Amino acid sequence: MSSFDVNHRAGLWSPGAAAETLLELARAADLVFVGLDEAQRVWGDGLRSAADVRALIGPREALVVKNAEVGATLFEGEGPGVFVSAPPVEVVEPVGAGDAFAAGVLAARLRGLAVGEQLALGHRVAGLALRSVEDHADASALRAGLDEHHRLEGRATR
């Protein structure tokens, strides 16, 4: 399985120059992560919803459309999307939250958790990154997010 996070950086590559290549890469990947605001910036303001982004990229094994502090929608195949709202977080530092979210979703997918749980774990791990100014060189944040997820879901860890 291949995954791709669009992760466009306008300071490095203008949206106009990046649009075609990023769309081609997204269409080639099995699992795609993209922010709604990012998709609008790169592919146009006509993308008003997660469903619009899905229509542009096309059905994938999975497509995750993030909408900042609102939440995220995960589409699998041609099925309907599942939306999970993001829990409120007091943001200390936003850097790394998108990568942490992706790590949480990927870890949950590898564990075979349901779609809603994949997004919930992504939000929890992102929340850990948002509440910290530290980089985590090991998997401690992911383990902590998974432990918190299990605790909140009323299950034993590991």
Cite the active site residues: 99
Provide the strand spans (E) within the chain: 3-5, 31-35, 60-67, 71-77, 82-85
The torsion angles phi and psi of 4, rounded to 5 degrees, stand at -145, 125
Q: What is the 3-state secondary structure (H, E, C) of 76-91?
A: EECCCCEEEECCCCCC
Phi/psi zone of residue 19: left (φ > 0), alpha (ψ -120 to 50 degrees), beta? alpha
Q: What is the 3-state secondary structure (H, E, C) of 97-115?
A: HHHHHHHHHHHHHHCCCCH
Which H helix or E strand runs over 128? helix 115-130
Helix (H, G, I), strand (E, B) or coil at 7: coil
